[in-house]
Homo-oligomer: A and B are copies of this chain.
Amino acid sequence: MVPVLIKDLLASAPDGRKVTVCGWVRTVRDSKGLVFIQVNDGSCFANIQLTFDRNNPSNNANVNEIEEELKKLNTGASVRAEGLLIESPASGQAVEVTLESLKCLGQANPDEYPLQKNKMSMEYLRDNAHLRARTNTFGAVYRMRNQMAFAVHSFFQERGFQYINAPEITCSDCEGAGEMFQVTTLSLEKIAEMGVKAGQGGMKIEDAHKIIDYSKDFFGKKASLTVSGQLEAETLATALSRVYTFGPTFRAENSNTPRHLAEFWMIEPEMAFFDLDDDMDIQEDFVKYLLNWALTKCREDLAFFDKRIQPGLIESLEKVAKAKFTRISYTQAIEDLEKAAANGAKFEFKPYWGCDIATEHERYLTEKIYNGPVMVFNYPKEIKSFYMKQNDDGKTVKAVDVLVPGIGELIGGSEREEDYGKLKAEIERRGMDESIYDWYLDLRKFGTVPHSGFGLGFERLLRYVTGMENIRDVIPYPRAPKLADF
């Protein structure tokens, strides 16, 4: 029989009806004949309290069984309990359950169970990632993750977008950058063997590459994990009008920082007939929608983050949710930063027109100068991707980044170059392999349309709305250099 979730029990009227509670014990307190058991099932932050009054047990209480089972309970043990849902005399909880029967389903030996009550470090919990969802912090993180994911879908579904899936395995490379993971069914061990054999037989080093026959690899050629689904999303936006991806993306970047993951989830909407202004409008709407969703549907978990993880979090999210996003050109942003530097602001990297805006600059703009969310648009084309729409000035492209306090860049987007000739010339100018992009160029060759899109890293969003410091703590099983446990 499926039990009612604790979040639903806690929201019920204390009408004295019999209920079943299933979950994991957080604490057991036994004082002067009164026993209190806090049980959590992860459906919400709060525990439900089971009470057993030895001196005045419930009429139908199976006293002997309860006493026997109580001996088995420690933090982490699992229980199935029955009792009556009544008003709680304790403060901070509306209802509690007076025990009628209790069954310990699985014990948790306190000498071995890794999650004891004493303060545990984030590193320690990362090493026990298979159990950390049972803690207050990670229960809250994962519930927020769930809510934010559904908010993403809801936002786009309400606006006539089609959810699409870009491929994970690809033979093209969106950014034209390297740092991709290779995917293969060729045996590395066998390649080594064949190499040794060939070397014994007198093969020259410069011929070693001949040993590798990609026609025998699973896909018949060299394949990698995708770094972005944008180009494929464009193929569907120029048919279905409004689409979005929401799926895993990979970077084999050797960055061991609290901000980088090798595997992360990206949201990449792409909209036909949207220009850069339309793109900025929907980005602003999207961020506000997500924050309002968090502020209304995740109040209990947010309160925890605000209290324990990042004081002031709720206020700062509320402020951005209500703000009008300031829109400034990149040129304006650089002028602002140069002026600030001249007036004594300390930057590790000196700002100048043409530079990439570093996180320190982004945060200075949004936190110090504009004191709120900022959208910076029209970036120098040399620091941006080949597919961005070129402005008439010959120097800038219709790119936009959304900056928010505490994080810096949250979203990056652009209007796409829809002119066949200009896009082709840009691919050539950059020395990219044009043959890989023939299908992408086809979108401009046949029925081309103005279109725009943007990307939001889901884990970056989660860091922002939870206040968690390390990005490895907002995804259940983080992947990073030397880290692929579980």
Q: Which residues of A contact B (CB under 8 A)?
A: 1-3, 5, 7-8, 22-25, 41-43, 76-78, 80, 105-109, 112-114, 129-131, 133-134, 138-139, 142-143, 145-146, 149-150, 153, 157, 160, 162-172, 181-186, 188-189, 191-205, 207-209, 211-212, 218-221, 223, 225, 232, 235-236, 238-242, 247-248, 250, 252, 254, 262-263, 265, 271-274, 278, 281, 418, 439-440, 442-450, 475-477, 479, 481-486
A–B Cβ pairs within 8 angstroms, 29 of them:
A2-B271, A25-B447, A41-B241, A105-B448, A108-B445, A108-B447, A129-B235, A142-B164, A143-B162, A146-B164, A150-B153, A150-B157, A168-B263, A169-B250, A171-B485, A181-B183, A181-B218, A189-B209, A189-B212, A192-B211, A192-B212, A195-B196, A196-B203, A196-B208, A197-B205, A218-B481, A220-B481, A232-B477, A439-B485
Asked if A252 meets B24 with Cβ closer than 8 Å, knowing A80-B273, A184-B181, A442-B130, the reply is no
Query: Knowing A133-B239, A263-B169 touch, does A225 contact B482 (C-beta < 8 A)?
Result: no
Contact present for A418 and B43 (CB under 8 Å): no
Contact A131 B449 (CB under 8 A): no
List the B side residues contacting A476 at CB < 8 Å. Answer: 164-167, 232, 235-236
Residues of B within 8 A of A273 (CB): 2-3, 22, 80
A418 in contact with B106 (CB, 8 Å): yes
Inter-subunit contact A447/B211 (CB<8 Å)? no
Checking B7, B112, B131, B182 against A188 with a beta-carbon cut-off of 8 angstroms, the contacting residue is B182
A interface: dominant SS: mixed
Chain B residue contacts of A165, Cβ below 8 A: 145, 248, 265, 475-476
Contact of A439 among B41, B130, B145, B239 (CB under 8 A): B130
Query: Which of B145, B166, B225 is A183 in contact with, Cβ under 8 Å?
Result: B225
